[in-house]
């Protein structure tokens, strides 16, 4: 993940696109909101590879997440 960095001095340590202050969550939110790759590239000054890296970062985060089903008392 050379395109995504975390640094406590940049955006309070949130994962960002390397060389920018654009958080991964902003890129993902833009995609969810319906923006296309080209729109995001123009809006935030990032490359398609950066957008793909943000998606990969999120996917890896979710893959490492352990989900446990809670038992509910009725």
Q: Is residue 11 part of a domain?
A: yes
pLDDT tens for each residue of 4-21: 999 999 999 999 999 999
In DSSP terms, 17 is beta-bridged to 4
Q: Per mean pLDDT, which range of 20-24, 40-44, 67-71 is the poorest?
A: 67-71
* Cα gap 15→57, rounded to integer Å: 9
Print the SS3 string covering 6-58. CCCCCHHHCCEECCCCCEHHHHHHHHHCCCCHHHHHHHHCCCHHHHHHHHHHH
Domain with 55, as residue range(s), is: 4-63
pLDDT band at 56 (very low <50, low <70, confident <90, very high): very high
Q: How many distinct structural domains can be found in the chain?
A: 1
pTM of the shown model: 0.82
For 18, the 3-state DSSP assignment is coil
Residue 65, pLDDT > 70, answer: no
- Predicted pLDDT at 67: 59
- Predicted pLDDT at 64: 80
Return the CATH number at 10. 1.10.10.10
């Amino acid at each position: 993940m050379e395109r995504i960095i975390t640094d406590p001095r940049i955006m309070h340590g949130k994962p960002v696109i390397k060389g920018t202050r654009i958080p991964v969550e902003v890129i993902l939110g833009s995609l969810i909101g319906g923006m296309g790759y080209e729109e995001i590239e123009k809006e935030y000054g990032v490359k398609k590879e950066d957008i793909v890296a943000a998606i990969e970062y999120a996917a890896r985060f979710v893959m490492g997440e352990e989900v446990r089903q809670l038992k509910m008392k009725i």
